[in-house]
Amino acid sequence: MGEEQKSSLRTATLELLRNKEGRPATLPFITRVTELSKYLSLNKQLQDEIEKVSTVFPFRIPEFYLKLMDKENPLCPLKMQSLPSLEELRGTGEADPLGEEPASVTSSFIKKYPGRGVFLAGVQCAMYCRFCNRRRFVGRQWNTKSSWEESFLQMERLVDLKEIIVSGGDPFMLPVSDFAYVMERLRAIERIKIIRVSTRIPVVYPDGLSRDHIEALSGIPSLWIVIHINHPREVSPEFIDAVRRLREIGANILSQTVLLRRVNDCARVLHILFENLVTLGIKPYYLFQLDEVMGAGHFKVKLEEGIRIMRYLRKNCSGLAIPHYALDITGGFGKIPLDHRYVKRRKGNEVYVESPAGVVGIYTDNGKKSVCTSCGLCEGYVN
């Protein structure tokens, strides 16, 4: 067989495998320093550092994401988010900053808030972000599948449950058959009206969002996809295409962004990111202050800087492009909004409010007290 024939046979075989799973035949992830050196020029000291840190916190970067990096720039925001750094071993922080362990019903189901729960579909991600608030188990030996059935059973019993957040790890890292099974089981629970899927795959490994994964989502009446994205450089043509494919099945798309020192702690960078997202039909949902997670303190941004950034965004962007700026305090007490305090003071009915541009005006707060009109809508309402 000639070289040309061999090559086309190989392409045809790869295509066949791709069609079977709807994904490329080989998963193109870099997990070893030696492989990484083929893409980035790393001196010996850097290689040793990465090796050392990755024995404590696993590292994995998709080939796709590496290609988006600015190879020449040591402060490339994509490198900062994905390359292990010695600073991870120096800082303090919590293993479980959101207090998820005490709220775990099973190893795959967390119930912290009224009306909604989190289903941990798996622990694999295409990339292990260096500031992940679930790094205590993400990328490690942790089996959530063994408790799936118990979790579905518990969900069926919970009378207040209306919304499930499918998270992990990245749910799209599940094999298609498992992913489709999870969706089928969740849809079968009549009380669940909203399914939310949290993912970073469209950003870091868009090929991982196979057509079969998307097919498994189609027909869900209230489907929300929340995409974790932190920087305008992450908006690639492939990301745009993944978003388009999700929108084609009627998914509502939101974004969440973590405010990270030396990555995106700049009002203009976030302005560009959020306006780009709105143009693509994605509503910026949350800008998170970094959680107190172990080994990530070097990414922390001062609160006053975050507030300053939000003030700039309010003044300069369309309201569509403004996310909620919020933090979770350690222990899992829920999200606390951190926006600029617009109400300055009150004198009788006069409330002094400050606009994002710094202009103080008076609002006359003389509405009458709200009363129940006995409309009856609340009868039998849980919560």
List of residues contacting ligand SF4 (CB under 6 A): 125, 128-129, 132, 134, 138, 169-170, 200, 228
Structural tokens at position 237: 């043509």
Q: Which residues pair with 30 in a beta bridge?
A: 61
Min. distance of Cβ 271 from ligand SF4 in angstroms? 23
φ/ψ of residue 98, rounded to 5: -95, 5
CB 277 within 8 A of CB 247: no
Nearest approach in angstroms of CB 11 to ligand SF4 is 31
Tell me the closest approach of the beta carbon of residue 169 to ligand SF4, in angstroms.
6
Consecutive H or E run containing 247: helix 237-248
**Residue 128 or 179 having the CB closest to ligand SF4:** 128
If the CB atoms of residues 170 and 234 are measured against ligand SF4, the closer one turns out to be 170
62 closest CA partner among 231, 178, 207, 171: 207
Is 204:65 a contact under the CB 8 Å cutoff?
A: yes
Closest separation between CB of residue 173 and ligand SF4, Å?
9
Place of tokens 């868009």: 206
Interatomic CA distance for residues 47 and 370, integer angstroms = 64
- CA end-to-end distance (rounded Å), the chain: 70
204 versus 267: smaller Cβ distance to ligand SF4: 204
Which residue lies nearer to ligand SF4 by CB, 129 or 321?
A: 129
Distance CA 140, CA 132 (A): 13
Cα four-point dihedral sign 318, 205, 64, 46: positive
- Indicate the residue among 134 and 300 with the shorter CB distance to ligand SF4: 134
CB of 250 to ligand SF4, least distance (A): 24
- Per the structure block, which two tokens stand in for 340? 């600029």
CB of residue 159 vs ligand SF4: minimum separation in angstroms? Answer: 30
Judged by beta carbon, residue 203 or residue 267, the one nearer ligand SF4 is 203
Nearest in space to 214 (alpha carbons), one of 201, 203, 228: 201
Query: Please, which residue, 46 or 204, has the CB nearer to ligand SF4?
Result: 204
Q: Which residues contact 55 (CB under 8 A, 6 or more apart)?
A: none
From the CB of 266, what's the least distance to ligand SF4, in Å? 21
Q: In this structure, are strands 283-288 and 324-328 parallel, antiparallel, or unpaired?
A: parallel
> For ligand SF4, which is the closer residue by CB, 201 or 267?
201
CB of 122 to ligand SF4, least distance (A): 10
